[in-house]
């Protein structure tokens, strides 16, 4: 008799006890997707966030490196995951803003189809030249490029990142013709820059500053609107005569669209707590980075504004993912 009654119950009711076994979030390991290989800044910051989440959530948090297509392969996977709080994505300009614009079929939007969780850190870049380039300043580099159009090149870690678009914005604001040479990562680009196979780069400060200090490359300016406390003697691009120039890298965290507000608020609180933690601040300083804290709503608005800004740079410059 009991079996006949159970057979008449809707399947959804029969499934309810199984779903309830999952328990309050998080009741199992959380995955943080880094859409680049291990060892880079995105990976470093992703692991910092994962470690803090693991400590505060009292649950295993695993970093999964899923590189490819300028950060769009892994990000697409994370964005399309179930909105249950168990798959998160480290956000950077190339993963959530420029990649979906530059690549023909990224498979996701990056801004409207995610739940923004919060920001974590920001870094500036430094415009540098190989010592063989006879330019001691930004003005001299512009003059040299105008005298030799199409003969100088600049390297980047790949199409669509802030390092690439810093070069495109430089071309746009100065009217010069320099050739973009994309690499599969920052390490091979740096190797060719140090060897003189590429003459110019707009590289992230933590990676390039040691080589500036050693004399392996010559620094001309920082790419941020304000001077960097890590290289206070370097002018900004604006101070060096390049009007309306401001490019920085930033890093944060997102979840799939539809993730519950309680999970979003919990993770945002963890990120904001990291920004206020002197230990985290000291570690970021050692990496040449600044803490960046926002509410989830502020981070969402920030992502939308960044997409508008970068889309205009991409449109006018004609930049593309090669």
Q: Clarify whether residues 134 and 201 are in a common domain.
A: yes
Q: Clarify whether residues 216 and 255 are in a common domain.
A: no
pLDDT digits (tens, 9 = 90+) for 135-179: 999 999 999 999 999 999 999 987 778 889 999 999 999 999 999
Q: pLDDT value at position 77?
A: 96
| Over residues 276-296, mean pLDDT | 96
Q: Clarify whether residues 36 and 107 are in a common domain.
A: yes
Say if 38 falls within a structural domain.
yes
Q: How many domains does the chain fold into? A: 2
Q: 70: which DSSP letter?
A: G
Q: pLDDT value at position 9?
A: 47
| Over residues 16-42, mean pLDDT | 79
pLDDT digits (tens, 9 = 90+) for 236-275: 999 999 999 999 999 999 999 999 999 999 999 999 999 9
Q: Clarify whether residues 286 and 258 are in a common domain.
A: yes
pLDDT > 90 fraction of the chain, expressed in percent and rounded: 80
Q: Clarify whether residues 142 and 288 are in a common domain.
A: no
Give the residue among 34, 67, 45, 40 at the shortest CA–CA distance from 187: 40
Q: What is the CATH classification number for the domain harbouring 207?
A: 3.40.190.10
Q: Which domain holds residue 155?
A: 124-222
Confidence of residue 78 (pLDDT cuts 50, 70, 90): very high
Say if 296 falls within a structural domain.
yes
Evaluated on CA atoms 163, 168, 169, 170, the torsion sign reads positive
Q: Clarify whether residues 93 and 162 are in a common domain.
A: no
Element (H, E) at 254: strand 248-256
Say if 52 falls within a structural domain.
yes
Q: Clarify whether residues 129 and 217 are in a common domain.
A: yes
Say if 239 falls within a structural domain.
no
Q: pLDDT value at position 204?
A: 92
Q: Clarify whether residues 130 and 117 are in a common domain.
A: no
Say if 14 falls within a structural domain.
no
Q: pLDDT value at position 70?
A: 80
**Average predicted confidence (pLDDT) for the chain:** 91
Q: pLDDT value at position 183?
A: 86
Contact in structure between 246 and 119 (CB atoms under 8 Å): no
Confidence of residue 322 (pLDDT cuts 50, 70, 90): low
Number of neighbours of residue 203 by Cβ within 10 angstroms: 28
Q: What is the CATH classification number for the domain harbouring 32?
A: 3.40.190.150
- Where among 202, 222, 242 does a domain terminate? 222
Per-residue pLDDT at 45 exceeds 90: yes
Say if 232 falls within a structural domain.
no
Q: pLDDT value at position 39?
A: 83
pLDDT digits (tens, 9 = 90+) for 183-192: 877 888 999 9
Alpha helices by DSSP H, listed for 28-98, are 41-57, 72-79
Q: Clarify whether residues 136 and 111 are in a common domain.
A: no
| Over residues 288-294, mean pLDDT | 96
pTM of the model: 0.86
Confidence of residue 14 (pLDDT cuts 50, 70, 90): very low
Say if 299 falls within a structural domain.
yes
Say if 8 falls within a structural domain.
no
Q: Clarify whether residues 52 and 104 are in a common domain.
A: yes
- Where among 180, 204, 222 does a domain terminate? 222
**94 or 49, which is more confident?**
49
């Amino acid at each position: 008799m009991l079996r006949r009654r159970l057979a008449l119950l809707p399947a959804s009711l029969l499934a309810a006890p199984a779903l309830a076994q999952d328990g309050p979030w998080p009741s199992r390991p959380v995955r943080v997707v880094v859409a680049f290989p291990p060892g880079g800044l995105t990976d470093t910051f992703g692991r910092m966030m994962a470690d803090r989440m693991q400590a505060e959530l009292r649950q295993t948090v695993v970093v999964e490196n899923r590189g490819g297509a300028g950060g769009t392969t892994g990000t697409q996977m994370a964005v399309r995951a179930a909105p249950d709080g168990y798959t998160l994505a480290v956000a950077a300009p190339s993963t959530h803003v420029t990649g979906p614009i530059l690549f023909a079929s990224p498979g996701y939007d990056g801004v409207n189809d995610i739940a923004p969780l919060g920001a974590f850190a920001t870094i500036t870049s430094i415009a540098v030249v190989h010592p063989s380039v006879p330019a001691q300043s930004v003005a001299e580099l512009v003059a040299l490029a105008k005298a030799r159009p199409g003969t100088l090149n600049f390297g980047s870690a790949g199409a669509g990142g802030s390092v690439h678009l810093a070069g495109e914005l430089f071309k746009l604001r100065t009217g010069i013709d320099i050739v973009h040479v994309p690499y599969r990562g920052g390490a091979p680009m740096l190797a060719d820059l140090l060897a003189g196979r590429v003459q110019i780069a707009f590289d992230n400060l933590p990676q390039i500053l040691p080589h500036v200090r050693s004399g392996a490359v010559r620094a001309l300016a920082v790419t941020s609107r304000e001077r960097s406390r890590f290289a206070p003697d370097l002018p900004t691009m604006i101070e060096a005569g390049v009007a309306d120039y401001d490019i920085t890298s930033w890093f944060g965290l997102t979840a799939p669209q539809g993730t519950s507000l309680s999970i979003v608020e919990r993770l945002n609180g963890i990120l904001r707590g990291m920004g206020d933690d002197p230990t985290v601040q000291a570690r970021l300083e050692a990496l040449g980075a600044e803490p960046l804290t926002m509410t989830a709503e502020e981070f969402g608005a920030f992502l939308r504004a960044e997409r508008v800004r970068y889309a205009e740079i991409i449109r006018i410059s004609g930049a593309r993912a090669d």
